[in-house]
A and B are shown apart, each in its own frame.
Chain A
Amino acid sequence: MTDATAIRARFRERGFIVDEAFATALQIMLALEKPLLIEGPAGVGKTESAKVLAEVLETRIIRLQCYEGLDAMAALYEWNYPRQMLHARLSETEGLSLEDREAHMFSEPFLLKRPLLEAITQDRSPVLLIDEVDRADEAFEAFLLELLAEWQVTIPELGTIRARHKPRVIVTSNRTRELSDALRRRCLFLWLPYPSLEQEIDILRARVPGLSDRLAQQIAQLMQVLRGLSLQKAPGVAESLDWAMALMSLHRDHLDAQTLEQTLGCVLKVHEDRGVLDTHRAAVEPILEGASTALESGGYSLETDFGIGSVSRPRR
């Protein structure tokens, strides 16, 4: 797994299409043992890529989802207070010295590991996904810097824990806020754009087996047009996959104006964007054809995780 071509092939086996720029960035990231910061519009597979990387490396993925108000307690470690308290009461009569009792109470069994601590105490380099780091506040970003530079965590009661195996870190950002220069400096940078027409057809074929060529072509073409319009929420790859799944489940093998109208909710998530699309109807018309053909439906089962808007690959 040292070669960009090999990385591409391994990712493809798992239904995830990466272009050469992405594969090279991953190769460099693995070789230099530096975190990789992936920025890009929503729904282009930033998070998914970390999961696939973990699969490819046959290692664990540890995920830290950032959110407003995320603090060190939730990200790093916490003492298990109820257990400590219980232990203190139960061991009252044992006649141990205060120092011994304290040393015991602040030892590893009483430590609750949160994702970051978990990631540096593994026996094998895990993939650490720090997801949507732009959602956490600046203070948390500063806190991350220490970890990303030194790979160690200091717990006052226990001492310093140093990483035995450096995790492979993928940091993602949706650019809802500008990240600090300091964080950028510690990471490799990759801008993940929307896929090109050919790439998107490729992705659709790889992820949605049984999808007709014509439909894949139409979906990809329409996506190119939609992303060219100035929509409030441009659809990502996740949306095209959802849409392809939806059309499959409706047993359509091509897109026409009526089908588009019925399933537009898979693609456009803001009401105003519908208006934008209507004003650019002319760009869409050539892609849609009126002629409807019967379809051959396969016994396809949906495996759509609507909670996060992505589609899991079918198990073999």
Chain B
Amino acid sequence: MYPFGNLPDNLIAFCEILRRDHGFRIGVGELQDAARALEVVKLSDELAVRHALRSILSRTRDEAAVFDRAFMEFFFPGPPGEQQAGMPSTRRELEPEAAGREEHREPGRARPGEAEEAEEDAERPEAAGEALVPLATEPEAEAPALLARARYSPQAEAAGAAPELTRAEPAWRDAARALVRRLHLGLSRRWRPAARGRRFDLRRTLRASLQTGGEALEARWLRRSRRAPRFVLLVDGSRSMSTYAETALKVAVAIASVTMRVEVFTFSTSLRRVTDDVRRAAAGETRRLEYLQYAWGGGTSIGACLREFLQRFGGRSLSRDTIVIVASDGLDVGDPGLLREAMRELHGRSAGLVWLNPLLETPGYEPTAAGMSVARPYVTTFASINDQAGLVRFSRLVRLRT
């Protein structure tokens, strides 16, 4: 069936590397598609094979970017120009190379007899794929945290400092629910059936009339539902914020447990998306943000981080339904001009820009720090949240841009 006897085996090994080292999500279906695709393209054309596999195995732009390097590393190891002239057209060249490399990479990995097995399975890629499935289902989000732990083992005693995310308590959830309800963004474009509404629903009226012999006795209506707010939380993870960041993340978990429309990021010297951790915490898992600890120390460049957020995630997570919540003390060591520009854009592209500042609780505090004073004109609501009552208070306070 396959002109190149052992190609499926190589393909499976390659997919496994993508899964393990690069976090790709490849299941049996993708493997089958990839095998079928290799029947379609010219195998002698390395570019065609690469393009074909990329379109099948990668799902996002980031994955597509990683793919090419992984492909070259796997199929053409060694420095360029050396023994590479052989495209995968001749299996003699490709196979031992790739297979040898596999073993070389992971000498201790337990793959008992898989080489022989795969040999037998070469004609049945799906069967060989099944053996790999458990790998795919292991929680890949855990990998970065594990990696971070491994990297910082010398400082293991300091691990207690990393903030822990736990399920939101009922009081917090209620407070978050109240917040979501109180935010009025106007009406959605979508018409929904309702007991009373502004538009007559001919379809449902007629449908209901079938029960009364074709006479429409009861009118059905449509109305526009309310636009549901989206949230973006940007939490300052610098050392000066260490205790408050945890409260801010609690707010994030509380909001995530009542709505899916939330994105959470932490920043200090660089920006990091922690939405997945927050969502898992909201679902009841306890998660420790190891990498946040890493990010501590050094000054906070708020402007640069917000700019990075706007560039990398702005298009996807900002809309006129989005409430942006920045939790920071505003002690900025970066360029104030950068912060001003970023705040202006955040303000312009969202429904409301909220700044949570723990220092606001301090008696006699005036937001006069350089960072605060340039950010201030663009902030629609200034607040500080320390407990669930604070979140409830905040939901009454929050102002939207109109």
Asked if A178 is an interface residue, CB under 8 A from chain B, the answer is yes
Complex Cα distance, B140 from A181, in Å, reads: 14
Interface mask (B240-265 → A, CB under 8 Å = 1, otherwise 0): 00000000000000000000100000
Contact B319 A176 (CB under 8 A): yes
Residues from chain A with Cβ under 8 Å of B63 in the complex = 189
Contact A21 B54 (CB under 8 A): yes
Contact A189 B33 (CB under 8 A): no
Contact A24 B316 (CB under 8 A): no
Complex Cα distance, B207 from A78, in Å, reads: 12
Asked if A86 is an interface residue, CB under 8 A from chain B, the answer is no
Asked if B47 is an interface residue, CB under 8 A from chain A, the answer is yes
| Nearest opposing residue in chain A for B210, CB measure | A102
Complex Cα distance, B311 from A232, in Å, reads: 9
Residues from chain B with Cβ under 8 Å of A137 in the complex = 190
A212 to chain B, nearest CB (A): 33
Partner of A20, one of B33, B51, B190, B260: B51
Interface mask (A28-66 → B, CB under 8 Å = 1, otherwise 0): 110110101001000000000000000000000000000
Complex Cα distance, B40 from A3, in Å, reads: 8
| Nearest opposing residue in chain B for A41, CB measure | B315
Interface mask (A1-42 → B, CB under 8 Å = 1, otherwise 0): 011100000000000000011011101110110101001000
| Nearest opposing residue in chain B for A190, CB measure | B55
Given the contacts A4-B41, A31-B36, A32-B33, A25 and B315 also touching, CB distance less than 8 Å: no
Complex Cα distance, B317 from A176, in Å, reads: 7
Contact A189 B52 (CB under 8 A): no
Asked if A81 is an interface residue, CB under 8 A from chain B, the answer is yes
Asked if A316 is an interface residue, CB under 8 A from chain B, the answer is no
**Taking chain B's interface residues, is the majority helix, strand, or loop, or is none over half, making it mixed?**
helix
Asked if A69 is an interface residue, CB under 8 A from chain B, the answer is yes
Contact B202 A28 (CB under 8 A): no
Asked if B151 is an interface residue, CB under 8 A from chain A, the answer is no
Residues from chain A with Cβ under 8 Å of B41 in the complex = 4, 24, 27-28
Q: Which of under 10, 10 to 19, 20 to 34, or 35 or more describes the interface residues of A?
A: 35 or more
Residues from chain A with Cβ under 8 Å of B316 in the complex = 175-178
| Nearest opposing residue in chain A for B38, CB measure | A28
A231 to chain B, nearest CB (A): 11
Asked if A85 is an interface residue, CB under 8 A from chain B, the answer is yes
Asked if B43 is an interface residue, CB under 8 A from chain A, the answer is no
A89 to chain B, nearest CB (A): 9
Asked if B188 is an interface residue, CB under 8 A from chain A, the answer is yes
Residues from chain B with Cβ under 8 Å of A79 in the complex = 203
| Nearest opposing residue in chain B for A102, CB measure | B210
| Nearest opposing residue in chain B for A156, CB measure | B207
Asked if A257 is an interface residue, CB under 8 A from chain B, the answer is no
Residues from chain A with Cβ under 8 Å of B260 in the complex = 138
Complex Cα distance, B189 from A137, in Å, reads: 11
User: Hey, which bits of chain B sit against chain A, CB under 8 A?
Assistant: 25, 27, 29, 33, 36-37, 40-42, 47-48, 51-52, 54-56, 58-61, 63-65, 188-191, 202-203, 206, 210, 214, 260, 311, 315-317, 319, 345
